[in-house]
Structure 1
Amino acid sequence: MVDYSIASLAYLKLVLHAAKFPSSTCVGLLIGTVAGSSCTITDAVPLLHHWTNLSPMAEAGLGLAELYAKQQQLVFLGLYVANERLGNQAVPNGAQKMAEAIRRDRPEAVVLVVDNEKLASNEPALIPYLPPKSPSAAWQPTTLSSARISLADSSAPTKALEQVRQGRHKLLGDFDEHLEDVRVDWLRNAAVSV
């Protein structure tokens, strides 16, 4: 079984993405390294908040993000989704299709759904979805502990919440924003730091 570790920067970016667009479904990519049966999610690339279904925009963003990951000597390890509705913890169909595409290259791919109800707490606001055993089945939700997923820094939720309260979510950009203003640094998001 695969063990996953989520770096503070990756957790921070997915929380900031959800906070910046609270009335939209947000989708982003999880990138990192694989060593044996250990996956380290070192960063997150905020992708979409408008065009969350498979579209030419999503495909273009995925292609650019893949080039960026390769330049950084990282690989796609999955994606994250922050749904627009508070209690919605499902993986949208478009995101499932993106996850399946990632899984073809990376069988250990995971989908992390942001638990909107826990965002304002000091707990990890993540619900992991693991790939189905059968290709026709849906991705299955589980718990962080049973999926062997941990935060590299257990204080990451508290630190991320503090950055949201300071308004730092406004510094984050995604690919949709980049399409409207090419100056938006959506791949690196250098203005965002832990």
Structure 2
Amino acid sequence: MPNYVITTKAYLKIILHACKHPFTSVNGILLAEEEASDDNNSDVKIIIVDVVPLFHHWVTLTPMLEVGLQQVSIYANRNKLKMAGYYHANERADENKLPPFGQKIASKIQDNFHNSIALVVQNTKLSPENPEIAIVPYIFKDNQWRPDNKAFSDPQSPFTLENQNIPSITSQSIFKRDFEVIYDFDEHLENVELDWLANVKVIELALENKKRA
């Protein structure tokens, strides 16, 4: 199984997207770089370098999902990245599982990238006063999507954070209401001038907070 690294930028965008729409489900796509340690492509490392927020209104399987995925695929190819998975935050604070339609989207992505994963936001861990890791990875095993509940805590887990200060950096961004400047495909459909693919302003804020952490 590959090793997965979640970068500050990717983690921050996921959480800010969830915080911007706390009363609805949100979802998006993971973008990654894939590295191998030798010519045999063993010891693969997948670095989740970015995400693209998709929806907060229409988080089911709709024609607009196909349009959104096509746009993300074009963006990923231009930036030499891989569509490496799916992320999801549920509407209910006590619901922390990957829902059936989320599993379908994750599986669709897996058809084109075998080592894809899904990340589910743990809503109960989104307290800015007590920063902690608020995502759980799902991997496809035994023909179903299963959570890795030991991720980020077990040394044997294939999942790590790029920077252990990421929860604190994210907490600062929540306090500063940085989520107000992150946009998803839903918002782009309402205002085509909004930067939903790169969300450059969020990247700038992430770098600023990282320096202060």
TM-score (norm 1): 0.95
SS at match of 1:108: coil
* 2:188 counterpart residue number: 178
1:161 positional shift: 1.2
2:116 to 109, 126, 136: 109
Percent of paired sites with the same residue: 36
2:70 to 42, 53, 63: 63
* 1:82 counterpart residue number: 89
* 1:45 counterpart residue number: 52
Aligned residues: 191
* 2:178 counterpart residue number: 168
Higher mean C-alpha deviation, range 117-126 or range 52-61: 117-126
| 5+ residue gaps, structure 1 | none
| 5+ residue gaps, structure 2 | 37-43, 207-213
1:189 correspondence with 2:199: yes
In structure 1, give the amino acid aligned to 2:191.
Answer: D
* 1:30 counterpart residue number: 30
Highest CA radius of gyration, 1 or 2?
2
Alignment RMSD, CA only?
1.1
* 2:6 counterpart residue number: 6
* 2:125 counterpart residue number: 118
Equivalent pair of 1:113/1:128 in contact (CA under 8 Å)? yes
1:142 correspondence with 2:148: yes
TM-score (norm 2): 0.87
1:147 positional shift: 4.4
SS at match of 2:200: coil
